[in-house]
């Protein structure tokens, strides 16, 4: 198929379509910040933080300069030191393992469950040593990990749990203890507001949440260079402050988050039904529904399918093509190909399709039509 015969293109992510309905509101709110001159730690930050504490049912929320810095601040809050170990998954974005390594600690990887792509909780216990300080599960693609099991393991070994919920604000976890929001179950949770997230700002942004007052107070200090009062530094912190302009954007977009998530879930249901006989579609449960920050299918023919869709104007993505244990920067850890076979297999088979709420029926049917045409040939 040549470009001349492509009826239209469907990007993997269409931020323009998402932004259009509230463009005027964003401009108005950002203009107010510029006029106020409250560029750093302005009043809009606690306003947004208060909304999230209510939404996620946590006691405290602190905006951060990025999702990565939110993870780093959480680790600093529990005084992670060189030589400490933090258990996490190799099938994730770099920030998860990178934040651990930046403090001189050792990322200890546990393979994934091949159905959910989240950490395999049945393998965690065997990786715990006297050096283990925390467990950092990742709620990948908008689906919460098995937190009941993770919290039970952490309690048994007196470990801290930091939820990397960068992709899952708005995702619920249903257990015998009731309905809980991603990020609210562990001792701390972190979110990302990178523009591609279900709730994205106009640049980098993140958040750390907790219901522990002592952790909150330390996080608040770490966010501003470890200050407890002006120019009195109790801790070695960093500049993890979110710009007030980003809080303005988030305040405008936040009321639309549930609508965005429902739109993604509706589109995912369409894909599930239309593609289930061709590829492995995302596997969720009543306990762990997804908000589909990404909608990822699996097929051994991934690379050929991706080219087929690209040639027909359909954007796709690979999350993630190389697991963390095979990244060059982590070669010092001594892992080799074959150490985490499920992560490695997923990396070779996974393909993300457009899933944003603004997709229309014509676009969805075109994507499905082109996938079906690939498997017919």
Structure tokens at 306: 């991706």
Contacts of 276 (CB under 8 A, 6+ apart): none
Structure tokens at 62: 């602190």
pLDDT for res 4: 56
Contacts of 121 (CB under 8 A, 6+ apart): 113, 145, 146, 149, 150, 153
User: What does 81-96 look like in DSSP terms, one character per residue?
Assistant: -TT-EEEE-SSS-HHH
pLDDT digits (tens, 9 = 90+) for 74-101: 999 999 999 999 999 999 999 999 999 9
Distance of alpha carbon 346 from alpha carbon 116, whole angstroms: 11
pLDDT digits (tens, 9 = 90+) for 2-51: 455 788 899 999 999 999 999 999 999 999 999 999 999 999 999 999 99
Is 171:182 a contact under the CB 8 Å cutoff? yes
Distance of alpha carbon 202 from alpha carbon 250, whole angstroms: 9
CATH of domain 256-376: 3.90.1150.10
Average pLDDT over residues 233-257: 97
pLDDT for res 1: 52
Average pLDDT over residues 132-153: 98
CA nearest 137: which of 113, 102, 170?
Answer: 113
Distance of alpha carbon 358 from alpha carbon 263, whole angstroms: 8
Per DSSP, the three-state class of 61 is strand
Query: Which fold, 19-254?
Result: 3.40.640
Distance of alpha carbon 178 from alpha carbon 29, whole angstroms: 37
pLDDT at 143 over 70: yes
> What angle do the packed helices 67-77 and 213-223 form, to 10 degrees?
120
> What angle do the packed helices 257-275 and 361-376 form, to 10 degrees?
30
Which segments of the chain are extended strands (E)?
60-64, 85-88, 106-109, 132-135, 160-164, 172-175, 178-181, 188-192, 206-210, 227-229, 232-233, 295-298, 350-353
pLDDT digits (tens, 9 = 90+) for 164-221: 999 999 999 998 889 999 999 999 999 999 999 999 999 999 999 999 999 999 999 9
Structure tokens at 285: 């449960």
Is 142:290 a contact under the CB 8 Å cutoff? yes
Cα of 315 vs its chain's centroid, Å: 20
Query: Which sequence spans correspond to the domains of the chain?
Result: 19-254, 256-376
The pTM of the full predicted model, rounded to 2 decimals, is: 0.97
Structure tokens at 79: 């005084």
Planar angle of CA 309, 310, 313, nearest 5 degrees: 90
pLDDT at 377 over 80: no
Structure tokens at 323: 């697991």
Average pLDDT over residues 344-368: 98
Distance of alpha carbon 50 from alpha carbon 179, whole angstroms: 20
């Amino acid at each position: 198929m040549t470009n001349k015969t492509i009826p239209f293109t469907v990007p993997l992510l269409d931020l323009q379509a998402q932004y259009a309905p509230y463009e005027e509101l964003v401009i108005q709110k950002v203009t107010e910040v510029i006029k106020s001159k409250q560029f750093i730690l302005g009043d809009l930050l606690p306003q947004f933080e208060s909304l999230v504490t209510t939404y996620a049912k946590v006691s405290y929320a602190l905006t951060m300069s990025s999702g990565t810095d939110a993870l780093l601040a959480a680790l600093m809050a529990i005084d992670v030191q060189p030589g400490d170990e933090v258990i996490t998954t190799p099938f994730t974005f770099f920030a998860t393992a990178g934040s651990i390594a930046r403090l001189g600690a050792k990322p200890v990887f546990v393979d994934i469950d091949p159905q959910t792509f989240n950490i395999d909780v049945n393998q965690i216990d065997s990786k715990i040593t006297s050096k283990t300080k925390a467990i950092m599960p990742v709620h990948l693609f908008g689906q919460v990990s098995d937190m009941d099991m993770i919290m039970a393991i952490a309690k048994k070994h007196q470990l801290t749990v930091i939820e990397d919920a960068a992709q899952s604000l708005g995702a619920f976890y249903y257990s015998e203890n009731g309905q809980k929001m991603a990020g609210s179950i562990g001792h701390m949770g972190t979110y990302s507001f990178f523009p591609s997230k279900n709730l994205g700002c106009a640049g980098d942004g993140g958040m750390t949440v907790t219901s522990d007052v002592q952790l909150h107070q330390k996080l608040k200090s770490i966010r501003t260079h470890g200050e407890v009062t002006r120019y009195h530094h109790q801790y070695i912190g960093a500049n993890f402050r979110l710009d007030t302009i980003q809080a303005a954007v988030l305040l405008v977009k936040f009321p639309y988050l549930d609508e965005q998530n429902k739109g993604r879930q509706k589109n995912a249901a369409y894909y599930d039904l239309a593609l289930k006989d061709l590829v492995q579609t995302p596997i969720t449960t009543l306990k762990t529904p997804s908000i589909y920050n990404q909608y990822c299918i699996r097929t051994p023919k991934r690379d050929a399918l991706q080219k087929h869709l690209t040639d027909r104007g359909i954007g796709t993505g690979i999350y993630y093509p190389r697991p963390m244990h095979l990244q060059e920067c982590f070669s010092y850890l001594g892992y080799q190909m074959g150490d985490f076979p499920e992560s490695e297999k997923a990396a070779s088979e996974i393909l993300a399709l457009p899933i944003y709420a603004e997709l229309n029926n014509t676009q969805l049917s075109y994507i499905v039509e082109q996938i079906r045409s690939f498997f017919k040939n």
